[in-house]
Amino acid sequence: MSTADVTLDADVVVVGAGMSGLYALKVLRERGLRAIVLEKAPGVGGTWYWNRYPGARCDIPSLEYSFGFDPELEQEWEWTEHFASQPEIERYLNHIADRYDLRRDIRLSCGVTAATFDEATDTWVFDTETGERLRSRFAIMATGGLSAPNRPDWPGMDRFEGTIVQTSLWPEEGVELEGKRIGIVGTGSSGIQAIPEIAKVAGHLTVFQRTAAFTWPSQNQPLTEAEQAEIKAKYRQLREEQYASFSGTAGTTGAVIFAFPTDDRKIRESTPEEREAALEDLGFSACRIWSDTATDLDANEMAVELFREMVRRTVKDPATAEALMPRGYPLGCKRPVLDAGYFDTFNRDNVSLVDLQRDPILEVTASGVRTAQGLVELDVLVLATGFDAMTGALTRIDVRGRGGRLLRDDWADGPRTYLGIGTEGYPNLFICVGPGSPGVLATYPPQIELQVGWMAEFVQYLVDHGLTRAEADREAQDTWCDHVNQVAEGTMFTAASCNSWYNGANIEGKPRVFLPYVGGLPVYMEKCNEVAAHGYEGFVLG
Ligand code: N01
């Protein structure tokens, strides 16, 4: 079959109907390209479909965690809080699906199991859970950075007679929590958001903590009409600030007092009185104002001590407070967490903490979780144990490229990408917010508009030029990967003591590779635009 004769279901199959997938469909369609979205979930929204656990909410101000592509949409949509809750964001994404008539090209409950590149025709063939098979010229993998759940495998899990539920797969019909004996494992963003909410309804809540976290009070508030109107009046300016900002965030609408260094105050040169004054003024944020903590581990440890002091002052039981104090890794190596009364929750009579570093989980039994110190009887076990981040959603699909090579094998020692978008050996396949792009380090909606917009333009360029194949060049890919590593070097992200999902350390056996591009969104897009301006330099076109 010649490449011209092949019958295509679409020019582009987009895998995933989260923010990236919805936006991809919209922009591809506007360019006259036929796109079909395949989505595993029965609803749109991606992460905001699956993560509907109590307390789920975004940690980016709502007026910024939203799309800027249509001023009318921006003006008509009303956010009710500074930090939007999961139901509100899910409603927003459903609104987008309806407002732009996207649903007719989205197939729900249609998870992709395999994607195979057919070299004879330069097309991708997709196999789905429904048995449906689709063929397209291009593949856009909008599979998400934090969408492949990490499920621990303790002995006896299948024997548990209660309910086991993951925060990242929370059922639409909810989970009966009222008055129950509940255990929760995991104290990252998901666990820290869920714990105060679950504690309010649980008979008893046991928190199983492996690593104490850094978390700051979000100080979330309802968004007043006046506040919202003020932002909306200057929305264009705000968006431009977002696109030009390192992290895609202008920081103008947050209720949180997120202190960052404003001058050159060094904690190493500070007096105890100055540090105490910072604690009194800024509370948990007192550790964040110093200019020397990002690169100097001793300075960092002094700042961590301020954080620990706040835990000591907040949590009444000294042993619990001690266990909740982060140790052994630097401030700034993990994604900061925002909470609503997290540490105060441990002052409740119905909440207790198990420090897994002293008292590890041995097994799950029919009636609960057994640690070295005994059995904790439970009705519900909640797993807030995170994700196989940035690569898991792709490597869990059988993605086969040229010569039948398997992406999962090619990435066994860590992902290799060009610009986080293309990967050598897999022509015509483009990855959204992938490893080697700012991904999880930059606010998704503005980043998606820029990156997915760039992809759509690339696809159109290929179609307009009658090109049927575009593949990342090996050398360009190597140079990009070296650059990604180089930029991360020397930051707290790559400190030897930093075990995080940013570097794969949270998943047993996953190679330790720092995954996102830490050079910032504007520098990244400048590079992408330069590549485009030079005829998509670094991609082999044919
Ligand atoms: O996942 P995590 P998350 N036994 O990996 C523990 C975004 N997000 O879902 O630190 C015992 O951060 C693990 O322990 P340790 C946000 O970007 C955003 O909470 O590996 N414990 C850790 O405590 C965030 O960073 C929002 O030692 C085990 C926890 O589980 C990212 O998603 C809300 C274990 C996992 O924490 C991931 O957050 C939610 C085991 N076998 C998520 N395995 C907002 O917008 C894992 N753990 C606010």
Q: What is the 3-state secondary structure (H, E, C) of 63-123?
A: CCCCCCCCHHHHHHCCCCECCCEHHHHHHHHHHHHHHCCCHHHEECCCCEEEEEEECCCCE
User: Tens place of pLDDT for every residue, the chain, 542 residues?
Assistant: 556 678 999 999 999 999 999 999 999 999 999 999 999 999 999 999 999 999 999 999 999 999 999 999 999 999 999 999 999 999 999 999 999 999 999 999 999 999 999 999 999 999 999 999 999 999 999 999 999 999 999 999 999 999 999 999 999 999 999 999 999 999 999 999 999 999 999 999 999 999 999 999 998 999 999 999 999 999 999 999 999 999 998 877 664 545 566 668 999 999 999 999 999 999 999 999 999 998 899 999 999 999 999 999 999 999 999 999 999 999 988 988 999 999 999 999 999 999 999 999 999 999 999 999 999 999 999 999 999 999 999 999 999 999 999 999 999 999 999 999 999 999 999 999 999 999 989 999 999 999 999 999 999 999 999 999 999 999 999 999 999 999 998 888 888 888 999 999 999 999 999 899 999 999 999 999 999 999 999 999 99
CB of residue 66 inside a 6 A radius of ligand 1: no
Residue 382 Cα to ligand 1 middle (Å): 12
Nearest CA to ligand 1 atom 31: 189
Which is it for strands 398-400 and 351-355: parallel, antiparallel or unpaired?
unpaired
The values of phi and psi at residue 361, to 5°, are -70, 130
Residue 105 Cα to ligand 1 middle (Å): 33
Coil, helix or strand for 355? strand
Residue 145 Cα to ligand 1 middle (Å): 13
Instruction: Report DSSP state, residue 312.
Output: H
Which is it for strands 470-472 and 337-339: parallel, antiparallel or unpaired?
unpaired
CB of residue 503 inside a 6 A radius of ligand 1: no
Those residues whose C-beta lies under 8 Å from the C-beta of residue 444, and which sit 6 or more positions away, are: 19, 20, 65, 248, 433
d(C-alpha 412, C-alpha 141), whole Å: 19
d(C-alpha 321, C-alpha 310), whole Å: 10
Instruction: Report DSSP state, residue 48.
Output: H
Those residues whose C-beta lies under 8 Å from the C-beta of residue 294, and which sit 6 or more positions away, are: 300, 332, 491, 492
CB of residue 386 inside a 6 A radius of ligand 1: yes
Those residues whose C-beta lies under 8 Å from the C-beta of residue 247, and which sit 6 or more positions away, are: 438, 441, 442, 443, 520, 521
Coil, helix or strand for 362? strand
By most ligand atoms within 8 Å of CB, the mutation choice from 220, 390, 506 for ligand 1 is 506
The structure's pTM equals 0.96
Distances (CA, A) of 327 to 258, 305, 497: 22, 9, 10
Distances (CA, A) of 52 to 9, 144, 336, 373, 537: 33, 16, 20, 33, 42
Instruction: Report DSSP state, residue 57.
Output: B
d(C-alpha 30, C-alpha 27), whole Å: 5
Residue 313 Cα to ligand 1 middle (Å): 25
d(C-alpha 519, C-alpha 525), whole Å: 10
Nearest CA to ligand 1 atom 39: 190
Residue 384 Cα to ligand 1 middle (Å): 6
Residue 315 Cα to ligand 1 middle (Å): 22
Task: Pinpoint the alpha helices (H) of 389-535.
Answer: 392-395, 407-410, 444-464, 474-488, 521-533
> Which pLDDT does position 263 carry in this prediction?
67
Where does residue 169 rank: exposed (0-12), middle (13-18), buried (19+ CB within 10 A)? middle
> Which pLDDT does position 187 carry in this prediction?
98
d(C-alpha 70, C-alpha 73), whole Å: 5
| Cβ atoms within 10 Å of 68's Cβ, excluding its own | 18
Residue 187 Cα to ligand 1 middle (Å): 6
CB of residue 189 inside a 6 A radius of ligand 1: yes
**Where does residue 39 fall: left (phi above 0), alpha (psi -120 to 50 degrees), or beta otherwise?**
beta
| Cβ atoms within 10 Å of 221's Cβ, excluding its own | 12
The number of C-alpha atoms within 13 Å of 480 and in the hemisphere containing its C-beta is 31
d(C-alpha 3, C-alpha 175), whole Å: 51
Residue 90 Cα to ligand 1 middle (Å): 21
Residue-wise pLDDT for 130-182, tens only, equals 999 999 999 999 999 999 999 999 999 999 999 999 999 999 999 999 999 99
- Paired residues of 398 in beta bridges: 114
Nearest CA to ligand 1 atom 9: 386
CB of residue 380 inside a 6 A radius of ligand 1: no
Index of the ligand 1 atom closest to the CA of residue 356: 11
> Which pLDDT does position 261 carry in this prediction?
64
- Asked if 438 contacts 245 with a C-beta cutoff of 8 angstroms, the reply is no
Residue 186 Cα to ligand 1 middle (Å): 6
CB of residue 383 inside a 6 A radius of ligand 1: no
Nearest CA to ligand 1 atom 18: 189
| Dihedral Cα 453, 455, 459, 460, nearest 10 deg | 20
CB of residue 440 inside a 6 A radius of ligand 1: yes
By most ligand atoms within 8 Å of CB, the mutation choice from 86, 385, 440 for ligand 1 is 385
Residue-wise pLDDT for 234-274, tens only, equals 999 999 999 999 999 887 766 454 556 666 899 999 999 99
Index of the ligand 1 atom closest to the CA of residue 189: 19
CB of residue 369 inside a 6 A radius of ligand 1: no
Place of tokens 């993951």: 166
> Which pLDDT does position 494 carry in this prediction?
85
- Asked if 64 contacts 242 with a C-beta cutoff of 8 angstroms, the reply is yes
CB of residue 516 inside a 6 A radius of ligand 1: no
Distances (CA, A) of 397 to 83, 132, 136, 148, 407: 33, 15, 17, 11, 9
By most ligand atoms within 8 Å of CB, the mutation choice from 170, 206, 210 for ligand 1 is 210
Residue 414 Cα to ligand 1 middle (Å): 20
210 Cα distance to chain centroid: 21
Distances (CA, A) of 405 to 85, 93, 115, 333, 426: 41, 35, 12, 34, 9
- Asked if 293 contacts 304 with a C-beta cutoff of 8 angstroms, the reply is no
